């Protein structure tokens, strides 16, 4: 199992690079995931989306619907896809430390 | 190893069997075994009902697990020549119909995964899995492996079939090249929504696979909570029944909705089907979250001269008139009349007799909410608008309505709730009000039988004013 | 990069179809598997249809051989139908026999038009899917072998479509067909606590249609065995909800579905055999049940009556009586939409 080290803490990742224990998420971890996704340094606009998703998840226990993300951040859907090229449901959720999305049906 | 079998007393078919040692130790199995012994059981083989299953104990040799788990695909295993690594798969190569196993054997697919599935009566593919590559938000799926000792998981890439599902051999060969270069070398032609699937692509080759498919004219998508691939019937490309230009309509769909197709944003998937006539070759009236079906309003036309010739050549008009589902046809042996008021434009007679053709005044019906699964099980889509003009090239009226329907769905539905379940939850009256379509008699099989309407304050106010 | 949409028609559509776009006036079936379409201009277009390997699984080797045939016989074009059979369009009528023979040598039978057994549709089953309760491709193969002769010759009252789904998600569309086979799970989902802890628990709870799933503090869920209807809904959003039990999984048989509006209209198929066990590799009792229903339909239906039309004429009472299939409480619908299938009035078939 791959591991990464942040701020003196060792964290386990699963085979797809998600945190085994999502409770260990921090902003440093988010930046690490962003690098993995090839996004480079996260901008304020990235953070606006990431924080919105993260807060919604902490409050309700589920990822927000994409319409909600668009409304709350005020960004166009296309723009969110420019910020997170693999999409709000995949890339942004990963960076925000949400559970791994699964399923094909 | 001792096996305990429960068998049908009449035909001897083994209904369930257990390993004797497990039966002694496993409480769940014991319970099941006792339950089966006591209850009425339907024998699946001779289909008789029996209350007393026959118990048998048989000694069998333990399965040679080590051999069955041998590594790698079994290309070298010829059919019927001694023991092979994949005896059950080999069995599926027998018989006259072309076999999927024969196809799998010619590729790098790990046949042992399938063989193990057949042997254990359980799929060897696992839950979970996740792949994302930047810029491709839809079109890639992960297949996780529950047996990493046999094969690793891999990805599949979905692409849209070309118009009318026609392929030039150039396109097909390009597709084969992609599958050979990056995948197992096996294609799914097609998956049930008419997507092409290239299977077994490792993550590092996904980008190249997508780029090469797109270069071959096969854009990728059709996964995730987005508009899926739109299926159309062959329509004007080779069918005389077609009432609206289904092929042009699908192209207009991709022109207008490409972003909704490739950037998932809805509560759940939306499958889109286009049929050019009520024969509904795309099965839209069963599977379409959004179903568009060509319809005509004028009664069917009869070509008298052609009918004469057809009957003289042995055409059985009496049979067709008798089989008309609404008994709208009268045939006295010489003259055919169609009762336009009784006719429901089902196209039965049109399909059977070339002298009868669809009438004029053509457009499409828009139905919504079809699906095969989800909360309330299979639901057929319901009529939202019975007649919408279908005007090329952009079919604006039709797609405006579809966009309105998905907007309402997107705004009000819960996450992972299919459109059909959402309509069922809200009620067709409320749904139509939200979408803003007028109620028509064509939307119901009959009006409601309960008086539990919802009256708005405005409606009450109007009555009060009238009374003053 | 994605974002180009569909290719232009000219790239894949054969010239004969483009020349006569929207101008077709007539068609006839010359023999099973051979169609002749006539356009306004009088031009005739001959099509040869062939069955494809079960589950529409095509190796690139076979695809390349088919491409070779298409180059030789159909001006470099081919088509796949909505039921995944192969069509070569625009074939020279003098060479149809030769093409039929060449396709046969590839293992692909010519037929499947008119009143025949059509190409089966099935989901990917145990070849590649984590949900499948039964192996749809193998069941499709077994049934296709059994009904092979009926693909080649017209001996049915109407067409016969058979679809096989490995589970109730119905990617294989069992419910749409004249006869459908649908894989069923019968055991409860196994809850893997440490996996569920990493999933969106409110979502797992909300997708359950019967409210059988409740949160189990601190971070898991529990399933009420009394209320679970084995719908597989919870398995899709969370890998900690695992389904599949080799001893109790199996399949059900449904009949009478169809899409077209003629006859009794579009309808889903109805469950007539609630459970048959999995018996790989060839599922003999499924084949036997299908054979029994088909034979009876062939014997009793009027011309042009598909299975659903035939049953709506004779009634379910007689269907069960004539097939000898027992009726049990499993046939009575108890789910939310149950009043749709419960009989009111006393108009019985005795």
Domain residue ranges in chain C: 9-105, 121-184+248-327, 190-242
DSSP helix, strand, coil percent of chain B (3-state; round to 5) = 35, 20, 45
* Confidence check: pLDDT of B71 > 50: no
Provide the 3-class DSSP secondary structure of residue C221.
strand
Cβ contact (<8 Å) for B263 and A89? no
Q: Which residues of A touch B132 (CB under 8 A)?
A: 37, 86-87, 90-91, 94
Which of A87-101, B39-53, B178-192 is least confident? B39-53
DSSP 3-state assignment of B453?
coil
Residue B72: per-residue pLDDT: 33
d(C-alpha B121, C-alpha B216), whole Å? 39
Confidence of residue B445 (pLDDT cuts 50, 70, 90): very high
In this structure, which topology does domain B100-223 adopt according to CATH?
A: Alpha-Beta Plaits (3.30.70)
Looking at the predicted structure, is the pLDDT value of residue B278 above 80? Answer: yes
Measure the CA–CA gap between B249 and B252, rounded to whole angstroms: 5
Report CB contact under 8 Å: C131, A22.
no
- What is the SS3 assignment for C251? strand
Q: For the ranges B18-27, B304-313, C340-349, which has the lowest average pLDDT? A: B18-27
Rg of chain A (C-alpha set): 13
CB of B422 within 8 A of CB of B412? yes
Instruction: Tell me the nearest-neighbour CA distance from B389 into chain A, angstroms.
Output: 30
Q: Using CA atoms, how far apart are residues B104 and B422, in angstroms rounded to an integer?
A: 40
| Among candidates C127, C261, C264 on the partner chain, residue whose Cβ is nearest the Cβ of B347 | C261
Report the pLDDT value the prediction gives residue B442, as an integer from 0 to 100: 96
Q: Give the pairing type, strands A9-12 and B186-189.
A: unpaired
Q: Which residue has the higher pLDDT, B75 or C246?
A: C246
Residue with more model confidence, B59 or C170? C170
pLDDT tens per residue across span B230-273: 999 999 999 999 999 999 999 999 999 999 999 999 999 999 99
Q: Domains along chain A?
A: 3-95 (1.10.10.370)
From the list C144, C154, C82, the residue with the least C-alpha distance to C107 is: C144
Q: Taking a C-beta distance cutoff of 8 angstroms, is the pair C53, C62 a contact?
A: yes
Residue A104 binned pLDDT confidence (cut-offs 50, 70, 90):
low
Residue B46 pLDDT level (bands cut at 50, 70, 90) = low
Q: Is the pLDDT of residue B419 over 60?
A: yes
SS3 of residue B238 by DSSP: coil
pLDDT of residue C346: 92
Asked whether the CA dihedral B158, C189, C168, C128 is positive or negative, the reply is positive
Nearest to A61 among C171, C200, C235 (CB): C200
Interval B5-14 mean pLDDT: 77
Q: What is the mean pLDDT of chain B?
A: 89
Checking if the pLDDT of B205 tops 60, the result is yes
User: Which pLDDT score is estimated for C178?
Assistant: 97
- Convert the pLDDT of each residue in C127-158 to its tens digit: 999 999 999 999 999 999 999 999 999 999 99
Average pLDDT (A50-73) is: 90
Task: Let me know if domain C9-105 sits in CATH 3.30.70.3340.
Answer: yes
pLDDT at B446 over 60: yes
Mean pLDDT is lowest, of B36-45, B277-286, C42-51, C317-326, for B36-45
| Predicted pLDDT of residue B23 | 81
For B373-410, how does the pLDDT look when each residue is reduced to its tens digit (9 = 90+)?
A: 878 889 999 999 999 999 999 999 999 999 999 999 99
Q: What is the pLDDT of residue A1?
A: 62
Distance from CA of B413 to the nearest CA of A (A): 10
Q: Taking CA B418 as the corner, what is the angle to CA B417 and CA B423, rounded to the nearest 5 degrees?
A: 95
Q: What is the pLDDT of residues C79-105, one digit of tens each?
A: 999 999 999 999 999 999 999 999 999
DSSP secondary structure code for residue C183 in this structure: E
| The residue to which tokens 């089902």 are assigned | B346
Phi, psi of C252 (to 5 degrees): -120, 160
Could you check whether C121-184+248-327 and C190-242 share the same CATH topology? no
- Is C113 part of the contact surface with chain B (CB cutoff 8 Å)? no
Tell me the mean pLDDT in the region A2-8: 77
Q: Name, in order, each residue with C-beta under 8 angstroms of B259's C-beta and a sequence gap of 6 or more.
A: A77, A78
A93 is catalytic: no
pLDDT of residue B79 exceeding 50: no
Here the tokens at position B296 are 């005509």
Q: Work out the burial of residue B464: count CB atoms within 10 Å of its CB; fewer than 13 is exposed, 13-18 middle, 19 or more buried.
A: exposed
Nearest alpha-carbon partner for B192 in C77, C117, C180, C245: C180
Report chain A residues touching chain C, CB-CB < 8 A.
18, 20, 22, 57, 60-63, 98-100, 102-105
Q: Strands, E, within chain A: which ranges?
A: 3-6, 9-12
Answer whether residue C109 shows pLDDT above 90: yes
Q: Which residues of A touch B410 (CB under 8 A)?
A: 65, 67
According to DSSP, the β-strands at B140-145 and B125-126 are: antiparallel
Q: Which residues in chain B touch residue C268, judged by CB atoms under 8 angstroms apart?
A: 286, 378, 380
Closest CA relative to residue C1, chosen from A80, B183, A86: A86
Average pLDDT over chain C, rounded to whole? 95
Q: Enumerate the residues of chain A whose CB falls inside 8 A of the CB of residue B207.
A: none
Q: Answer whether residue B81 shows pLDDT above 60.
A: no
Calculate how close chain C gets to A61, using CA atoms only, in Å: 6
**Mean pLDDT throughout B202-209?**
94
Q: What is the domain partition of chain B in residue ranges?
A: 2-59, 100-223, 235-297+361-443, 301-357
Per-residue model confidence (pLDDT) at position B43: 65
pLDDT category of residue B70 using cuts at 50, 70 and 90: very low
Least confident of B17-31, C28-42, C106-120: B17-31
* Of A58-62, B284-288, B336-340, C115-119, minimum mean pLDDT range: A58-62
pLDDT of residue B67: 33
Identify the three-state secondary structure at position B24: helix
CATH 3.30.70.20 assigned to C190-242: yes
Look at residues C324, C4, C279 and name the one whose alpha carbon lies nearest to residue C135: C279
Q: How far apart are CA C201 and CA C221, in angstroms?
A: 7
- The DSSP secondary-structure symbol of A65 reads P
What is the pLDDT at residue B186?
A: 95
The strand pairing partners of C45, in sequence order, are C37
Q: Which residue of C has its CA nearest to B291?
A: C259
At B457 the pLDDT is 94
Compute the average pLDDT of residues B133-153: 90
Please measure the distance between the N-terminal and C-terminal CA atoms of chain A and give it in whole angstroms.
28
Q: Quickly name the fold that domain C121-184+248-327 has.
A: Sulfite Reductase Hemoprotein; domain 1 (3.30.413)
Q: Distance from CA of residue C241 to its chain's centroid?
A: 27
User: What are the pLDDT digits (tens) for A33-46?
Assistant: 898 888 889 999 99
**Over residues B81-107, mean pLDDT:** 90
Three-state SS at A22? helix
| CA-based nearest distance A20→chain C, Å | 8
Q: What is the pLDDT of residue A102?
A: 63
Whether the per-residue pLDDT at B150 is higher than 60: the answer is: yes
pLDDT at C114: 95
CATH number of B235-297+361-443: 3.30.413.10
Cβ proximity of B152 and B113 under 8 Å: no
B100-223 against B301-357: fold identical: yes
Q: Is the pLDDT of residue B16 over 70?
A: yes
What are the residues whose beta carbons fall under 8 Å from the beta carbon of B367, sequence distance 6 or more?
B284, B285, B288, B290, B291, B292, B293, B381, B382, B383, B384
Q: Extract the tokens encoding C126.
A: 């145990």
Rounded CA separation B244/B266 (Å): 28
Residue of B265, B269, B374 for testing the chain A interface, max A β-carbons within 10 Å: B265
CATH number 3.30.360.10 given to B301-357: no
- List C residues 217-246 in contact with B (Cβ-Cβ < 8 A): 231-233, 235-237, 239, 242, 244-246
Question: Token pair 């494809």 is at which residue?
Answer: C52
Smallest Cα–Cα separation from C215: which of C236, C245, C238, C184?
C238
Catalytic option among A16, A41, A102, A104: A104
- Residue B432, pLDDT > 90, answer yes
Q: What is the mean pLDDT of residues B404-429?
A: 94
Task: Give residue B65's pLDDT.
Answer: 36
Can you give the pLDDT at residue C142? 97
- Of residues A39 and C307, more confidently modeled: C307
A with C: how many residue pairs have Cβ under 8 Å apart? 29
Percent of chain B surpassing pLDDT 70: 93
Q: Give the C-side interface with A, CB within 8 Å.
A: 131, 169, 171, 198-203, 235-239
Nearest to C134 by CA among C169, C161, C175: C169
Q: What is the pLDDT of residue B33?
A: 78
At residue B66 the predicted structure's pLDDT band, cuts being 50, 70 and 90, is very low
Q: How many angstroms separate the CA of residue A30 from the nearest CA in chain C? A: 17
């Amino acid at each position: 199992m791959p591991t990464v080290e942040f701020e003196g803490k060792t964290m386990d990742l699963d085979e797809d690079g998600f945190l085994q224990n999502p409770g260990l998420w921090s902003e440093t971890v988010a930046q690490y995931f962003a690098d993995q996704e090839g996004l480079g340094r996260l901008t304020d606009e990235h953070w606006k989306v990431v924080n919105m998703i993260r807060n919604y998840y902490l409050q309700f226990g589920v990822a927000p619907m994409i319409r909600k993300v668009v409304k709350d951040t005020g960004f166009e859907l296309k723009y969110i896809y420019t910020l997170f090229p693999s999409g709000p449901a995949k890339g942004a959720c990963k960076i925000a430390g949400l559970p791994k999305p699964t399923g094909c049906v | 190893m001792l096996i305990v079998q429960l068998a049908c007393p009449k035909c001897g078919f083994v209904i369930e069997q257990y390993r004797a040692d497990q039966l002694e130790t496993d409480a769940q199995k014991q319970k099941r075994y006792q339950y089966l012994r006591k209850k009425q059981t339907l024998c699946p083989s001779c289909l008789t009902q029996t209350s007393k299953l026959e118990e048998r104990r048989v000694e069998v040799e333990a399965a040679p697990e080590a051999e069955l788990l041998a590594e790698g695909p079994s290309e070298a295993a010829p059919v019927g020549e001694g023991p092979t690594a994949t005896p059950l798969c080999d069995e599926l190569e027998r018989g006259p119909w072309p076999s999927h196993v024969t196809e799998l054997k010619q590729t790098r697919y790990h046949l042992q995964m399938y063989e193990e599935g057949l042997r254990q009566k359980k799929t060897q593919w696992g839950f979970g899995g996740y792949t994302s590559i930047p810029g491709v938000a839809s079109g890639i799926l992960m297949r996780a492996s529950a047996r990493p000792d046999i094969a690793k998981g891999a990805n599949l890439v979905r692409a849209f079939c070309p118009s009318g599902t026609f392929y030039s051999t150039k396109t097909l060969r390009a597709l084969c090249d992609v599958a050979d270069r990056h995948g197992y070398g096996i294609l799914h032609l097609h998956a049930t929504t008419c997507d092409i699937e290239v299977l077994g692509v490792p993550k590092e080759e996904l980008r190249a696979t997508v780029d090469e498919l797109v270069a071959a004219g096969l854009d990728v998508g059709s996964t995730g909570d987005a508009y899926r691939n739109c299926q159309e019937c062959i329509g004007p490309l080779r069918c005389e029944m077609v009432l609206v230009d289904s092929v042009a309509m699908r192209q207009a769909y991709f022109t207008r909705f490409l972003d909704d197709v490739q950037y998932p944003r809805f509560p759940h998937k939306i499958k889109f089907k286009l049929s050019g006539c009520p024969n509904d070759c795309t099965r839209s009236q069963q599977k379409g979250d959004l179903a568009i079906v060509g319809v005509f309003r004028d009664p069917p036309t009869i070509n008298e001269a052609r009918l004469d010739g057809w009957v003289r050549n042995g055409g059985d008009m009496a049979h067709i008139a008798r089989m008309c589902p609404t008994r709208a046809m009268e045939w006295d042996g010489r003259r055919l009349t169609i009762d336009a008021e009784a006719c429901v434009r089902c196209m039965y007679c049109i399909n059977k007799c070339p002298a009868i053709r669809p009438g004029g005044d053509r457009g499409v019906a828009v139905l919504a909410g079809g699906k095969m699964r989800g909360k309330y099980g299979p639901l057929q889509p319901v009529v939202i608008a019975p007649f919408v003009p279908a005007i090329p090239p952009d079919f604006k009226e039709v797609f405006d309505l579809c966009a309105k329907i998905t907007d309402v769905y997107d705004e009000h539905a819960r996450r992972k709730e299919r459109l059909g379940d959402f309509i069922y939850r809200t009620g067709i009256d409320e749904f139509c009000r939200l979408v803003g379509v007028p109620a028509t008699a064509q939307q119901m099989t009959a009006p409601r039988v309960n008086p539990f309407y919802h009256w708005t304050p405005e409606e009450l106010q109007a009555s009060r004013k009238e009374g003053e | 990069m994605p974002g180009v949409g569909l290719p232009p028609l000219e790239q894949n559509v054969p010239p004969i179809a483009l020349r006569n776009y929207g101008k077709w006036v007539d068609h006839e079936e010359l023999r099973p598997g051979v169609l002749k379409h006539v356009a306004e201009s009088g031009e005739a277009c001959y099509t040869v249809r062939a069955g494809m390997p079960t589950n529409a699984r095509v190796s690139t080797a076979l695809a390349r051989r088919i491409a070779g045939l298409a180059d030789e016989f159909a001006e470099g074009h081919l088509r796949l139908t909505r039921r995944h059979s192969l069509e070569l369009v625009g074939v020279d009528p003098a060479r149809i026999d030769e093409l039929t023979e060449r396709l046969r040598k590839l293992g692909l039978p010519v037929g499947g038009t008119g009143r025949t057994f059509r190409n089966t549709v099935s989901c990917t089953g145990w070849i590649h899917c984590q949900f499948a309760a039964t192996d749809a491709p193998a069941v499709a193969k077994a049934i296709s072998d059994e009904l092979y002769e009926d693909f080649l010759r017209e001996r049915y009252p109407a067409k016969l479509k058979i679809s096989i789904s490995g589970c109730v998600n119905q990617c294989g569309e069992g419910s749409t067909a004249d006869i459908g086979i649908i894989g069923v799970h019968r055991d409860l989902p196994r809850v893997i606590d440490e996996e569920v802890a990493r999933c969106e628990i409110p979502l797992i709870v909300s997708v359950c249609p019967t409210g059988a799933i409740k949160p189990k503090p601190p971070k898991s869920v529990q399933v009420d065995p009394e209320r679970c209807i084995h719908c597989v809904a919870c398995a899709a959003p969370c890998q900690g909800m695992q389904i599949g039990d080799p001893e109790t999984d199996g399949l059900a048989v449904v009949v009478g579905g169809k899409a077209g509006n003629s006859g009794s209209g579009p309808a889903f198929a109805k469950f007539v055999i609630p459970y048959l066990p999995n018996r790989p590799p060839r599922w003999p009792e499924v084949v036997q049940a299908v054979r029994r229903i088909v034979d009876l339909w062939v014997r009793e239906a009027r011309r042009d009556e598909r299975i659903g039309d035939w049953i709506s004429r004779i009634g379910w009472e007689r269907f069960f009586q004539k097939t000898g299939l027992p009726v049990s409480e499993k046939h009575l619908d108890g789910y939310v939409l149950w009043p749709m299938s419960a009989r009111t009035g006393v108009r019985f078939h005795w």
